[in-house]
Amino acid sequence: MTNTDRDRVSAAPSSPEPGALRPTRQRTAVTEALGTVADFRSAQEIHDLIAGHGEKVGLATVYRTLAALADAGVVDVLRTEEGEAVYRRCATTRHHHHLVCRTCGATEEIEGPAVEDWAGAIGRTFGYADISHELELFGTCPKCAGAP
């Protein structure tokens, strides 16, 4: 993510930078909805969460807001096996990965310096530059393993 991206969202309300995002009822609703859940949710689910909470925000706006947040690195995005995008606000904004329960969706945030190094080494080996990577782990969490 770029610094400009980050500034677009975290800019203080006092800075009149052109292109800064305005704090609106809708954007607050999306952010709060994200705060009430621990696992990855689709845009539509977020939309439903907000509706169930009494507020009304257009679906298009939910999509737009999530895109902006993802752009800013505030939320993580990944794709379900069916190709649907799901979002989650993680505790850290640092680079990390996830261990997701296939059954209940419970999610752990993972940091793995070993893998980061490995990725870089592989890139070097093949002569590739600007290596980035995408990595997610899946499994059955202890809770779900207990009740088969």
Q: Is 95 in the site for a copy of itself (CB under 8 A)?
A: no
DSSP 18-77: TTPPPP-HHHHHHHHHHHT-SS-EEHHHHHHHHHHTT----HHHHHHHHHHHHHTTSSEE
Q: Position of tokens 């393993």? A: 145
Instruction: Choose, by CB under 8 A, the member of 1, 38, 104, 115 that binds a copy of itself.
Output: 115
| CB-nearer residue toward DNA: 83 or 127 | 83
| CB-nearer residue toward a copy of itself: 48 or 136 | 136
Instruction: Choose, by CB under 8 A, the member of 22, 92, 132, 147 that binds a copy of itself.
Output: 132
Chain positions 86 to 145 lying near DNA, rule: CB under 7 A, are none
Q: How many CA atoms lie within 13 A of 60 on its CB side?
A: 0
Q: How far apart are CA 132 and CA 124, in angstroms?
A: 12
Instruction: Choose, by CB under 7 A, the member of 10, 32, 36, 84 that binds DNA.
Output: 84
Work out how close the CB of 3 gets to DNA at its nearest, in angstroms, rounded to a whole number: 18
Chain positions 25 to 54 lying near Zn ion, rule: CB under 5 A, are none
Closest by CA to 136, choosing from 103, 112, 120, 104, is 112
* Chain residues in the site for a copy of itself (CB under 8 A): 79, 83, 85, 99, 101-102, 108, 110, 112, 114-115, 118-119, 122-123, 126-142, 145
